[in-house]
Amino acid sequence: MEVVIVPDATAGGELIAEAIAALLARKPDALLGVATGSTPLPIYRALAAKVASGAVDASRARICQLDEYVGLPAGHPESYRSVVLREVVEPLGLSEASFMGPDGSAEDVQAACEAYDKALAEAGGVDLQLLGIGTDGHIGFNEPCSSLASRTRIKTLTEQTRVDNARFFDDDIEQVPHHVITQGIGTILDARHPILLATGEGKAEAVAQTVEGPVASIVPASALQLHPHATVVVDEAAASKLKLADYFRATYAAKPAWQGL
């Protein structure tokens, strides 16, 4: 696992956007796994700016969802399909045909989960998967004590996650669904390059447990330690509880430029 400490969220977004740009340069039809929430927005803004300036050609890129609420009506503005279309697909100038995600309104949710896992494999697998992290250490919606071998499935959200997400629903927790479809931890680890971005002091404890703690289902993000090419990008606030922060700074500063992110 590589840990990169950046000054702030904007710098983190720019760094990861550069990594995506490099990927698209060598593989124009790369499958990009995207996350929702406020944390990855600097990535999408930086990448959209590169596309708008002509520095990056994303015309053949493909986009896939990490997770989706169960039970929200089609077209609901806070369904993750709507969010991804609004925040990623449209700003990059892509069509909806380039996008794939699980069907959270399916009558048979379990079948929808299995179909999505199969669709990702048939698409050639995810080349780069963006991740955020919950205050309890979850990635995607793999809540604490999720199986580290889990595949795409339905999950029940913890009360803390529903509280955290209420801000997207007019601060009304009653509007936040209880269930989601999420890529499992095993599915996430299938991605060729998972990149986790964490910003703010509120994520510091989860980051420390993910990076320096044991691999344990109580901190689902710690499973990234098992991946041969996982990157964790954190701002100074989110890095504040890392015991090895100085080492991470030194190793990144000494990294050969040709290695990229």
Compute φ and ψ for 97, nearest 5 degrees.
Answer: -65, -20
* 125: Cβ contacts below 8 Å, ≥ 6 apart: 31, 190, 191, 192
Summarize the chain as % helix, strand, coil (round to 5).
40, 15, 40
Q: Which is the catalytic residue, given 87, 127, 143, 164?
A: 143
| DSSP single-letter state for residue 73 | P
**Catalytic residue check, 171:** no
* 240: Cβ contacts below 8 Å, ≥ 6 apart: 201, 204
Q: Which is the catalytic residue, given 136, 164, 190, 235?
A: 136
**Catalytic residue check, 138:** yes
214-243 exposure pattern, b = at least 16 Cβ within 10 A, e = fewer: eeebebbbbbbeebeebbbbbbebbbbbbe
**Catalytic residue check, 108:** no
**Cα–Cα nearest to 151, from 122, 108, 184, 188:** 184
* 152: Cβ contacts below 8 Å, ≥ 6 apart: 102, 113, 114, 116, 117, 120, 181, 182, 183, 184, 187
**Catalytic residue check, 236:** no
Q: Which is the catalytic residue, given 87, 127, 138, 235?
A: 138
Q: Which is the catalytic residue, given 67, 68, 87, 117?
A: 67
Structure tokens at 125: 């697998």
H helices of the chain, in order, are: 9-26, 41-53, 80-84, 109-122, 159-165, 185-189, 204-212, 245-253
Catalytic residues: 67, 136, 138, 143
